[in-house]
Amino acid sequence: MKFTKMHGCGNDYIYINGFTEKIPKEDKTELVRRISDRHFGIGGDGAIFINPSQEADFEMEMYNADGSRAEMCGNGIRCVAKYVYDKGLTDKTDISVISCGQIKYLELFLKEGKVDTVRVNMGAPELRPEQIPVTVAEGDFSAVQDGVIDAPILVEGKEYKMTCVSMGNPHAVIFMDDVTNLKIEQIGPYFENHERFPKRTNTEFVKVLDRKTVQMRVWERGTGETLACGTGCCATVVACILNGLTDELVTVKLLGGEIEIEWDREADLVYMTGPATTVFEGEYDVQTGRILS
């Protein structure tokens, strides 16, 4: 099986051409677990299969590192765009990609004939609790009317305030004074598996630096801490604006780089702009687990 390792701001996945590599669906969960392992496999935050589609130009079939299927990945979809253009699967610089029934529209920006950055129309943020999904705690009736915005959540005996947003996948945004020294590996799993999130959640821990800049660390469900999360950046900026903390165009500083997010309130559309990078390519023996080249 041929593969390409790519990343968006350090959020790295193993990309597989579903046009040519025919992996049975029932085998993909275990395969993804093996190839995502950073010690015994190729190493990555998960794997993405790029498939043909009748509804869009391409399909993105994404899996977390633990083999669970994920609905959307902002960094991943930018790398899909770079993959299909750089490898000649399309010559268009405006493409559509579908993932779990959601179609996103992407604008590709080139440098020396290759895709350098990508702007993605990520669609409208979802704030209805049942659609995120997040359960509403007893007595938290204002959250039902306005979305779960600045709502209390008790995690390991400590109360936090969260704002919940879906960008095709669930996010809980937590504002903090210091995220640099946060022991995210200790608290992250408790948020991910909290009883209020029926499908688990991604959790963004955010420090607002000014009206145009925020710092973010992210704990992704099924993977752990990653260097970046595109949908998490989108959810973070939506949460910032809902809480009156930033303007509508914000730079999100991540461990792996920076992503620009804009929420067009009039159109109710979130746009994400960021880089896409190819790391290396190779071939993997599915039967033996050996990297052949």
Phi–psi pair at 272, nearest 5 degrees: -120, 130
Q: Which domain CATH number covers 60?
A: 3.10.310.10
- Rounded average pLDDT over 256-264: 98
Q: Is residue 214 located within the same domain as residue 254?
A: yes
pLDDT for residue 143: 66
The answer to whether 249 and 91 are in contact (CB under 8 A) is no
Q: What is the largest CA-CA distance in the chain?
A: 58
Q: Is residue 213 located within the same domain as residue 171?
A: yes
Q: Is residue 60 located within the same domain as residue 15?
A: yes
Judging by beta carbons within 10 Å of its beta carbon (0-12, 13-18, 19+), is residue 156 exposed, middle or buried? exposed
Q: Which helix (H) or strand (E) holds 242?
A: helix 230-242
Is 293 within a domain?
A: no
Q: What is the pTM of this model?
A: 0.93
Q: Is residue 208 located within the same domain as residue 94?
A: no
pLDDT for residue 173: 98
pLDDT for residue 144: 64
pLDDT for residue 137: 79
Q: Is residue 6 located within the same domain as residue 76?
A: yes
Q: Which residues are catalytic?
A: 73, 229
Is 288 within a domain?
A: no
Q: Is residue 82 located within the same domain as residue 188?
A: no
* Average pLDDT of the chain to the nearest whole number: 96
Kindly report, residue by residue over 44-84, the tens digit of the pLDDT.
999 999 999 999 999 999 999 999 999 999 999 999 999 99
Number of domains in the chain: 2
Is 292 within a domain?
A: no
Look at residues 263, 271, 259 and name the one whose alpha carbon lies nearest to residue 240.
Answer: 263
pLDDT for residue 26: 93
Judging by beta carbons within 10 Å of its beta carbon (0-12, 13-18, 19+), is residue 181 exposed, middle or buried? exposed
Q: Is residue 71 located within the same domain as residue 201?
A: no
Q: Is residue 205 located within the same domain as residue 87?
A: no
Is 291 within a domain?
A: no
**3 pLDDT exceeds 80?**
yes
Kindly report, residue by residue over 182-229, the tens digit of the pLDDT.
999 999 999 999 999 999 999 999 999 999 999 999 999 999 999 999
- Domain housing 202: 129-267
The token duo for 126 is: 């979802």
Is 234 within a domain?
A: yes
Confidence of residue 293 (pLDDT cuts 50, 70, 90): confident
Q: Is residue 116 located within the same domain as residue 143?
A: no
In percent, the amount of the chain with pLDDT more than 70 equals 98
**292 pLDDT exceeds 70?**
yes
Question: Positive or negative CA dihedral for 28, 2, 20, 114?
Answer: positive
Q: Is residue 93 located within the same domain as residue 133?
A: no
Q: Is residue 222 located within the same domain as residue 114?
A: no
The answer to whether 188 and 155 are in contact (CB under 8 A) is no
Q: Is residue 114 located within the same domain as residue 166?
A: no
